[in-house]
Amino acid sequence: MTHTRALDRITDKSEPSHIVILGAGFGGVYTYTSLPRWVKKQYRITVIDRRNHFLFTPLLPEVAGASLDQHSIVEPIRDIINRDVTFIQSTVISVDTNTNTIVLPDTIITYDILVAGLGSKTHFFGTPGAEEHAYILKTLDDAVHLRNRFIDTFETASQTTDPVERKKLLSFVIVGAGPTGVELAGEVSELLFDTFVHQFGSLDIDDVTLTLVNSGDDVLSMFDLPLRQYATRALTRGRVVLRNNVRVTEVTPFGVVTDTGEEISAQTVVWTAGVTANSLTCSCGTFTVDRGRILTDRYLRAESIENVFVIGDMALFPTEDNRGLPMTAQVAKQQGQTTGKNISRLLKGQPLYPFVYHEKGLLASLGSFDAVAQMKGFRFKGVFAWFMWRTIYLFNFASWKKRFKIMADWTVNLFARRDTTRL
């Protein structure tokens, strides 16, 4: 069946169309929640994701830094969708837009309308050794793995009598000073220099080093200069060693090698430089792919394919500067909301709404009680920005249950040290 025949089926009311949403991340979930009730009642809807939860990625650094419990930042997909909607926990292998089929490991599914929101994956820019030796922060498993790594390293160091070996163990490098790298550095610096140093009486704080390596001139390059300078001062105060204008050319089991040939020793390297990666997570039939992302029209439909919407990190939306929109949750959420409304318009045979992105502002946490925020021409920093950051994230989270859980975790953090239980 070609996609134009699928479109005929959609407008032919005798057979209910099958709407399939690939990915229950920001794009997929907001597509689903923005579908009008009558669409959810009258049409067959299937959601497919390899995980059974929605992950609130902006709070991943807090899980890695042991200030939030991992269950607090995920929501079961079955709590989000209606019970009569089909959810399939499976991995999408490929999509064929000529036959309107999706290939899963053990079955093939046919769709009439498809929404592809499978996100992105970490990009290492071909840096030798990075994929093998660096830790990443993209999924909940990554965050838990990283937190465990920090704990294990300190436990091992506390039993190491050789001072040189101990120092090596306690050296950490984060590569990339975009929002993820900076937020992680803020969180980890408190975990290392506050919680661990307090818990491990035998270890000397001067043996611990946390280096943030950044290929640009400044951290948080998308923020205005005064906020970048503020973030730099805050990180430095938190004992983070900032290395700007340094490009990592290799990651080894013993640290990173830079473009000047310098070796920065570290037993733990975290790669956040490529979280806005451009590679796709599935092979995608006949889509037009540019810089790893699927080219869309102004209505978020894959170019020349009228029954397939592509949203979020996967989509290369046409912009004046030809760079596409940033790969952020804000963009994915708004694209999901527009797509939900446009599916109902497509089903009614009405013209679609073009997608218009409204930038809501930029926020980055620098650890407890400190953050920077930039909104509608205003700049905020320090405790006020931190409260703003927390409130906005809290109200963007899916359910009240999880909002209360996060609020409870944050309240406990005001009075107690981070939970360093090894899981």
Ligand X SMILES: Cc1cc2nc3c(=O)[nH]c(=O)nc-3n(C[C@H](O)[C@H](O)[C@H](O)COP(=O)(O)OP(=O)(O)OC[C@H]3O[C@@H](n4cnc5c(N)ncnc54)[C@H](O)[C@@H]3O)c2cc1C
For the CB of residue 148, give the shortest distance to ligand X in the complex, in Å: 17
Q: C-alpha 152: how far from its chain's center?
A: 25
For the CB of residue 114, give the shortest distance to ligand X in the complex, in Å: 13
Site string for ligand X, 161-200 (x = CB under 6 A): ------------------xx--------------------
Segment interacting with ligand X, rule: CB under 6 A, options 51-59, 165-173, 190-198, 237-245: 51-59
Instruction: Kindly tell me which residue out of 10, 28, 269, 296 binds ligand X, with binding defined by CB under 6 A.
Output: 28
Residue type, 296: T
Report yes or no: 200 and 283 within 8 Å, Cβ to Cβ.
no
List binders of ligand X among 342-381 (CB under 6 A).
none
By beta-carbon distance, which residue lies closest to ligand X? Answer: 25
Report yes or no: 398 and 80 within 8 Å, Cβ to Cβ.
yes
For the CB of residue 138, give the shortest distance to ligand X in the complex, in Å: 5
How are beta strands 293-295 and 240-243 bridged, if at all? Answer: unpaired
For the CB of residue 157, give the shortest distance to ligand X in the complex, in Å: 26
Segment interacting with ligand X, rule: CB under 6 A, options 79-87, 114-122, 207-215, 376-384: 114-122
Query: Which C-beta is closer to ligand X: that of 203 or that of 295?
Result: 295
For the CB of residue 76, give the shortest distance to ligand X in the complex, in Å: 12
Instruction: Kindly tell me which residue out of 34, 258, 278, 328 binds ligand X, with binding defined by CB under 6 A.
Output: 328
Q: Which residues pair with residue 296 across a beta bridge?
A: 302
Instruction: Kindly tell me which residue out of 6, 20, 60, 63 binds ligand X, with binding defined by CB under 6 A.
Output: 60
As a whole number of angstroms, the distance between CA 324 and CA 338 comes to 17
Q: Mark residue 325 as left, alpha or beta (left: phi above 0; alpha: psi -120 to 50; beta: remaining).
A: beta
74: contact with ligand X by CB under 6 A: no
118: contact with ligand X by CB under 6 A: yes
For the CB of residue 265, give the shortest distance to ligand X in the complex, in Å: 25
CA distances from 78 to 29, 46, 49, 317 (A): 11, 12, 12, 30
Report yes or no: 192 and 172 within 8 Å, Cβ to Cβ.
yes
Report yes or no: 58 and 329 within 8 Å, Cβ to Cβ.
yes
Instruction: Kindly tell me which residue out of 40, 50, 341, 345 binds ligand X, with binding defined by CB under 6 A.
Output: 50
Q: C-alpha 384: how far from its chain's center?
A: 25
Query: Which C-beta is closer to ligand X: that of 34 or that of 180?
Result: 180
92: contact with ligand X by CB under 6 A: yes
List binders of ligand X among 290-319 (CB under 6 A).
312-314
Q: How many residues bind ligand X (CB under 6 A)?
A: 33
Instruction: Kindly tell me which residue out of 6, 9, 25, 325 binds ligand X, with binding defined by CB under 6 A.
Output: 25
Query: Which C-beta is closer to ligand X: that of 41 or that of 291?
Result: 291
For the CB of residue 362, give the shortest distance to ligand X in the complex, in Å: 9
Query: Which C-beta is closer to ligand X: that of 49 or that of 297?
Result: 49
Computed on alpha carbons and rounded to an integer, the radius of gyration of the chain in Å comes to 23
Query: What residues line the site for ligand X (CB under 6 A)?
Result: 23-28, 48-51, 57-58, 60, 91-92, 117-119, 137-138, 179-180, 275, 281-282, 312-314, 327-330, 332
